[in-house]
Amino acid sequence: MTTPLHRLLRAADLLGTPDQPAAGDPADTFDRLPWLGVQLDRDRAHGLFDSWAESTVIDDNTQQPVLGEGIVTALAQRAGLPARYPVANAGLLHVYGYLLSTSATPHGFKRDRWLDGTLATALGLDADAFLPWRLDNGTLLERVTRMVLPIARGAVNAGVVYERDDRIADDTTAHTTLWRSRRAGQAGPAALVYALDGPSGIRLVTAFPVSGAIDEFVAALDAEPPRLRYNAVV
């Protein structure tokens, strides 16, 4: 039996890679994954992308694109958003685009954060809370924004493990927050939430799980000078 996960992986494979895109129309992805277009339409109608900053598809670690221009353009057009490849809305890229990326990074595939349950667990949710084909509790972008935007705004301090503010420009500060739900336990994964505070207010860039030695992760982060991280664009 073909599962939603198999259909997602097949749709991603049919897009090819950023350096060798498939010959077909990337917009066909919406036919292969009907839930994707439905969610983009809902997010567009509800203005959910406004809570997110901009990002590039060039990965910080590999310095290579993780998505091709064709699918980024198709996603942006369906969402009613501008795309200046390799730059587009961070919510569009990190939430929906990463599902379709076949580019491996030193930390695995970009889609894993939404599929393997680790990020959901860190945020105190059931492991399947961010499965993208679920439509019973809002779109994937809505579910993610609902959980991480209050963390970025400092509205749920009880779970904060670490915070850092970096002045990126005269009018923009980058907020990095590590947050862990009590449900995850002291040894459980934490969620890293990264956002930019600028003229348009606080806007999200990304969220992903941090497992294992949290102290080592924090020490490595503290050793770096202020800069834009996690593919953010100002």
pLDDT tens digits along 108-131:
899 999 999 999 999 999 999 999
pLDDT in tens, 52-65: 999 999 998 889 99
Cα angle value 120/125/127 (rounded, 5°): 55
11 versus 107: which is more confidently predicted?
11
Mean local confidence (pLDDT), 153-179: 94
Give pLDDT, residue 23: 84
Residue whose tokens read 């049919």: 14
Residue 41 CB contacts under 8 Å (≥ 6 apart), including other chains:
78
Rounded Cα distance, 103 and 84, in Å: 20
Instruction: Give one DSSP letter per residue of the chain, joined into a string.
Output: ---HHHHHHHHHHHTB-SSSB-SS-GGGHHHH-HHHHHHHHHHHHHTGGGGB-EEESB-TTT-SBSS-HHHHHHHHHHHT---BTTEEEHHIIIIIGGGG---EETTEETTHHHHSSHHHHHTTS-TTTT-TT--BTB-HHHHHHHHHHHHHTT--GGGEEEEEEEEEETTEEEEEEEE--GGG-TTS-EEEEEEEEETTEEEEEEEEEE-S-HHHHHHHHHTSPS---TTEE-
- Measured over the CA atoms of residue 94, residue 99, residue 104 and residue 106, the dihedral's sign is positive
Give the pLDDT band of residue 1 (cuts 50, 70, 90).
low
**Cβ neighbours around 200 below 10 Å, total:** 12
> pLDDT tens across 59-118, in order?
988 899 999 999 999 999 999 999 899 999 999 999 999 999 999 888 889 999 999 999
On average, the pLDDT of the chain sits at 95
Statement: the pTM of the whole predicted model exceeds 0.75:
yes
